[in-house]
Structure 1
Amino acid sequence: MVDPQSREARVDCVGKHVYQVVGGYGSIDWLPAVPRTERVKVRDYTCDCRPIVYELCQAGGLRFIRRISRPNGRLVVEESRWSTAAVIDTLWGELLRGEAR
């Protein structure tokens, strides 16, 4: 079994994996998910083999990152602030590289 924090993906994994956090990483303000629009397009996502799954989402001309976890079997969905594609795409890259959480 692969260490869930390692950079190595399992053979059966289909999504991206978030790297371990690096020292001095940035903090993402996670807010409770609030339905703001009828449709949300998931543009990218991380593998669900980890306890926390992230989705890069777009709706209404803006982007945001959704964080989904299940602490104690309870579904928790949170979102980053909504912003322009350039801002959120940069944040998404930082998250994947372990430079933000």
Structure 2
Amino acid sequence: MIVDSIECRGRLGVRGGEIICYDEEGNPLGNHIALAKALRDEERARQEAEARAAEEEHARQEAEARAAESERRAQEEQRARMALEERVKALEEALRRMQQAE
């Protein structure tokens, strides 16, 4: 059977027909198949967590962009409103002058 290679920093032994990796203190870490599976599972979980973090970052950036666009539009509308108010004032003043001239 071919399995993923793993690093055993302790020592290897055989127990019950299975290869066992021992840590530096001599405690069994499990068989190489279980260790390889655990490492693959851990890597998969890490990759999934990174993917979720990237998705959350993308969503945050999109939300910030929408907020910035909303702020830009609000400022633009405020400027347009102020310009219209100034125009109305000017027209009202012109009307008053015309009415006074009559």
TM-score range relative to shorter protein? under 0.3
Higher relative contact order (CA 8 A, sep 6+): 1
Give the number of the structure whose residues are more often helix, by fraction: 2
What is the TM-score of this pair, normalised by structure 2? Answer: 0.23
Bigger Cα Rg: 2
Give the number of the structure whose residues are more often strand, by fraction: 1
